[in-house]
């Protein structure tokens, strides 16, 4: 399906049609079709190797597609560079945390803001007054974003000294600092214990609700997906296998088969 969100009368923020990606002989994405409505919190799930991360890499411009279309906010963005899509309002986090561990939290968040509002490389390095002004605005804004994630008190701490769950939140803060309309979260619960995972799920839900963000959540933690997502897209072998509410997905025989088939090979099971 691509039409269910539209039936609810909401405008499409992102439409993906016939998206393909080959790596040599490997068809990582066979034919991806997906429509995400503005304001949704959707889950993108699927067995290991089904193409979820590849989809994120194509959406954000890390890889160029081998074919197909990506329309974001009414513009064709397939083949754009990551910074072009960031300027259009896409932000993402990665499966493995990618922070500057030996820098303070606030500097990590400011990186996201520099990408969007910075004075530019030379004015910053040469400390022109314009750069200083924009630098102080950036720090002010970084503190506001940290406040949203209850991390303002840790602004001056080195990332390396934060618990793992808080490091994830710093990643979120850095993504939020770019003021995205679409946030792509790639397995945010990876490496977390059940308590941290539950807290993170609540944080994602809150960001969705309070900031009106559209979020696509790639996750293997089925409890988080089933609790917080309104709609779920299931990928299998580079395509969408099924789409529906958490209840519909849990009962879908095709989904159960896709997961059980893979579980025999040691992958995660649904529900």
d(CA 170, CA 156): 12
Q: How far is the CB of 41 from ligand ATP (least distance, A)?
A: 19
From candidates 4, 8, 23, 194, binder to ligand ATP by CB under 6 A: 23
- The yes or no reply on residue 28 touching ligand ATP (CB under 6 A) is yes
Task: Tally Cβ neighbours within 10 Å of residue 21.
Answer: 22
Total residues at interface with ligand ATP (CB under 6 A): 11
Measured in whole angstroms, the distance separating CA 158 from the mean position of its chain's CA atoms is: 24
- The yes or no reply on residue 170 touching ligand ATP (CB under 6 A) is no
From candidates 16, 35, 37, 54, binder to ligand ATP by CB under 6 A: 54
| Region from 43-51, 157-165, 172-180, 222-230 binding ligand ATP, contact rule CB under 6 A | 43-51
Cβ neighbourhood burial of 267 (10 Å; 0-12, 13-18, 19+): middle
From candidates 49, 104, 191, 244, binder to ligand ATP by CB under 6 A: 49
Tokens 């001056």 belong to residue: 156
d(CA 37, CA 42): 9
For ligand ATP, the closer CB: 48 or 75: 48
| Region from 22-30, 105-113, 151-159, 189-197 binding ligand ATP, contact rule CB under 6 A | 22-30
- Bin 208: left if φ > 0, else alpha if -120 < ψ < 50, else beta: alpha
- The yes or no reply on residue 61 touching ligand ATP (CB under 6 A) is no
Q: Which of residues 211-270 bind ligand ATP (CB under 6 A)?
A: none
From candidates 46, 65, 188, 201, binder to ligand ATP by CB under 6 A: 46
Nearest CA among 5, 23, 7 for reference residue 15? 5
For ligand ATP, the closer CB: 46 or 188: 46
CB contact at 8 A, 64 and 79 = yes
- The yes or no reply on residue 93 touching ligand ATP (CB under 6 A) is no
d(CA 243, CA 62): 26
Cβ neighbourhood burial of 210 (10 Å; 0-12, 13-18, 19+): exposed
- The yes or no reply on residue 164 touching ligand ATP (CB under 6 A) is no
Nearest CA among 238, 240, 241 for reference residue 20? 238
Helix (H) or strand (E) holding 93: strand 90-93
From candidates 11, 18, 26, 160, binder to ligand ATP by CB under 6 A: 26
From candidates 3, 48, 76, 79, binder to ligand ATP by CB under 6 A: 48
For ligand ATP, the closer CB: 57 or 214: 57
Instruction: Provide the token pair at 177.
Output: 């600092």
Q: How far is the CB of 54 from ligand ATP (least distance, A)?
A: 3
Contacts to ligand ATP by CB under 6 A: 23, 26, 28, 46, 48-54
């Amino acid at each position: 399906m691509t039409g269910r969100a539209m039936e609810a009368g909401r405008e499409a923020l992102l439409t993906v049609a016939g998206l393909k990606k080959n790596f040599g002989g490997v068809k990582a994405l066979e034919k991806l079709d997906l429509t995400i409505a503005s304001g949704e919190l959707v889950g993108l799930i699927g067995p290991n190797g089904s193409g979820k991360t590849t989809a994120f890499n194509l959406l954000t411009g890390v890889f160029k597609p081998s074919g197909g279309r990506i329309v974001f906010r009414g513009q064709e963005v397939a083949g754009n560079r990551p910074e072009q899509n960031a300027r259009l309002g896409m932000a993402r986090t990665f499966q493995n945390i990618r922070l500057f561990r030996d820098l303070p939290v606030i500097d990590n968040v400011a990186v996201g803001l520099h990408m969007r509002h910075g004075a530019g490389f030379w004015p910053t390095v040469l400390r022109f007054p314009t750069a200083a002004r924009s630098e102080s605005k950036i720090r002010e804004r970084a503190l506001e974003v940290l406040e949203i994630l209850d991390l303002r008190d840790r602004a001056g701490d080195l990332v390396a000294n934060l618990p793992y769950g808080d490091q994830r939140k710093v990643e979120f803060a850095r993504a939020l600092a770019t003021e995205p309309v679409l946030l792509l979260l790639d397995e945010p619960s990876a490496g977390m214990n059940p308590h941290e995972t539950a807290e993170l799920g609540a944080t994602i839900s809150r960001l969705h609700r309070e900031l009106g963000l559209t979020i696509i959540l790639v996750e293997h933690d089925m409890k988080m997906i089933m609790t917080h997502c309104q709609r779920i897209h299931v990928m299998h072998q580079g395509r969408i296998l099924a789409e529906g509410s958490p209840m519909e997905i849990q009962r879908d025989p095709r989904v159960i088969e896709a997961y059980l088939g893979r579980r025999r090979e040691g992958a995660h099971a649904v529900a």
